[in-house]
């Protein structure tokens, strides 16, 4: 009896995780075949840092001060482009309707899309960091900075996936997503820039921790909110 009860309890969890894994694998496999999303994000991100590099002839100290702002502007705009394209492709190919009709919890769709979007954003960041380090002669391979980038990316993608699911249903989706997204992510961008600046300037951990804590709280709260309202958003 106990074995049967344990089996019943484990089945929903395994099917939920299996649905998330299937969605992530679908997105990664589709991107591996087409390379539309990643190539657009990479070209855009590299173009931004190249423009800043040649437009701003800065001395080493000023470059170190400006680096967090340039980095997060690049990540934010490239991430928005990726979020928009990710959901637009699903909508245009009719895959979004198929996902919504699948016999799985809608929250599994949200987490699957969030993880795949996060993977795309992290791939872009992995490429941008060494290129930026070479162009600006600045060492960005700082463990604290890597943690900040990861936390900031998680929060950005968590709320961005929810809002892109909402915006994709409209005809002005390319314009609507940034209008909805940027006011909401201002706290995480400010905290990420401040924390990144603190690590690059070698400040004490106690001076940076308030911004790290803000990033963690933002990630937890907005992921929970998106999880709770995603079903209603896609239903509309």
Contact criterion met (CB below 8 Å) for 55 and 47:
no
pLDDT of the residue at 3: 41
**Torsion sign, CA atoms 46, 47, 48, 51:** positive
Flag the least confident range among 62-71, 82-91, 172-181. 82-91
Give dist(CA 99, CA 97) in Å, integer: 5
Which residues, 6 or more positions from 131, have their beta carbon under 8 angstroms from its beta carbon? 46, 49
Reported residue count of the chain is 236
Q: Does residue 2 surpass a pLDDT of 60?
A: no
What are the respective helix, strand and coil percentages of the chain, to the nearest 5? Answer: 90, 0, 10
**H-helix or E-strand spanning residue 176:** helix 173-200
Instruction: Give the pair of three-digit tokens for residue 176.
Output: 């609507």
Q: Where are the domains of the chain?
A: 2-235
22 pLDDT exceeds 90? no
Q: What is the pLDDT of residue 149?
A: 95
Query: How many CA atoms lie within 13 Å of 22's alpha carbon, on the beta-carbon side?
Result: 11
């Amino acid at each position: 009896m106990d074995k049967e009860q344990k089996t019943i309890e484990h089945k929903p969890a395994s099917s939920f995780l299996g649905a998330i894994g299937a969605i992530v694998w679908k997105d990664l496999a589709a991107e591996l075949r087409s390379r539309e999303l990643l190539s657009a994000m990479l070209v855009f991100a590299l173009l931004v840092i190249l423009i800043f590099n040649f437009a701003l002839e800065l001395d080493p100290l000023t470059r170190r001060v400006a680096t967090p702002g340039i980095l997060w502007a690049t990540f934010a705009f490239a991430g928005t482009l990726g979020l928009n394209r990710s959901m637009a492709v699903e909508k245009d190919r009719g895959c979004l309707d198929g996902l919504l009709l699948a016999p799985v919890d809608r929250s599994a769709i949200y987490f699957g899309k969030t993880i795949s979007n996060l993977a795309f954003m992290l791939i872009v960041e992995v490429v941008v960091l060494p290129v930026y380090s070479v162009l600006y002669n600045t060492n960005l391979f700082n463990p604290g900075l890597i943690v900040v980038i990861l936390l900031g990316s998680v929060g950005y993608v968590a709320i961005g996936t929810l809002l892109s699911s909402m915006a994709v249903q409209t005809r002005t989706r390319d314009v609507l997503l940034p209008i909805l997204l940027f006011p909401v992510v201002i706290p995480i961008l400010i905290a990420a820039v401040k924390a990144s600046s603190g690590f690059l300037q070698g400040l004490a951990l106690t001076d940076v921790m308030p911004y790290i804590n803000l990033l963690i709280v933002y990630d937890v709260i907005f992921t929970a909110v998106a999880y709770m309202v995603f079903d209603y958003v896609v239903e509309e």
